[in-house]
Structure 1
């Protein structure tokens, strides 16, 4: 089984202050606990960007206790880590996007949405995601990057005619989403 999650932001203390309604002290333990409950050794976990904020020495062993094969699709906060520092955590690292087949449909995975209504940062990457989605005839985009906020979600994928699910932990109650849960049209 394949599972999807994003924006874990392990050890990002400021994210608690930025989003106190969704992030509490100890959110890292909750994510690890939920992943251990959901995944089996034969499963694959796609972490769709923004894995961690700082490299804590003891975290590698804790992360390795999560069963399954782990694939990182890099997000903006993963880019400042040299790939050599991330390799021990993942079986595979994908720089920008990948496309999977799920129940006969193409599913695009990228940290970036096809459009983020909150900011103009990463606009070129978002445009590229929209182009890839349409060029490859994808049925669904799984992304992260857009965080919960009290004003609304501000994902504008629908404006690009892109069907999407934001797999940010803040929208999934800190659980991964399984491929069986994906609404494929």
Structure 2
């Protein structure tokens, strides 16, 4: 099974409050997310982490090892803007099946392009390839407005905060993105 998630920011105390995440602190966030993750993901599942596994300013190598080794599945990291510590450490990179800046995969007749940042165009988009991205978390800024208006059926936000803080299948990802978009439209109309 393939699962997708992004922007966990394990170890990042401020991210808990900035995103209004439902946790008292970063330790509780990891504990709850680990429990949910491991209840769903088996060791032979692939988890595509679309950036920002941790936060470079608040996590050391030992914490990164702890996070990675306590989560089930074959973890593939698509580098995000906060994954510098992993980018610069071959020892940490070995915790993942691969660490890349972007990735094209085909699964069950579907084409996916994985990149941390939302983008206007991507590899094989004209051939039906969908984009799975992160970075914007659950924010509704200009970037989200553009993606929701112009790429809603082609690009999907894997941010953990709109996906129940757990890796999700593509079908769940699409449903969660549509629910988030509908709530956003409803909130704007108020």
Match of 1:170 among 133, 136, 161: 161
**What residue number does 1:134 align with?**
125
Match of 2:114 among 102, 109, 113: 109
Partners of 1:107 and 1:35 in 2: how far apart? 22
Relative to its length, the structure with more helix (as a share) is 2
CA RMSD of aligned residues (A): 2.6
Say which SS state the counterpart of residue 170 (structure 1) adopts: helix
| 1:167–1:76 distance in 2 versus 1, CA, 3 Å | same
Matches within 5 A, 1:18-167: 18-20=18-20, 22=22, 24-25=24-25, 26-53=28-55, 54-55=59-60, 57-81=62-86, 82-95=88-101, 97-114=102-119, 130-134=121-125, 137-149=127-139, 154-155=143-144, 156-158=146-148, 161=151, 163-167=154-158
Tell me by how many angstroms 1:22 deviates. 5.0
Partners of 1:31 and 1:145 in 2: how far apart? 18
TM-score (structure 1 length as normaliser): 0.77
Structure 1: segments with no counterpart, 5+ residues: 115-126
| Matched residues, number | 167
TM-score (structure 2 length as normaliser): 0.75
| 1:154–1:22 distance in 2 versus 1, CA, 3 Å | farther
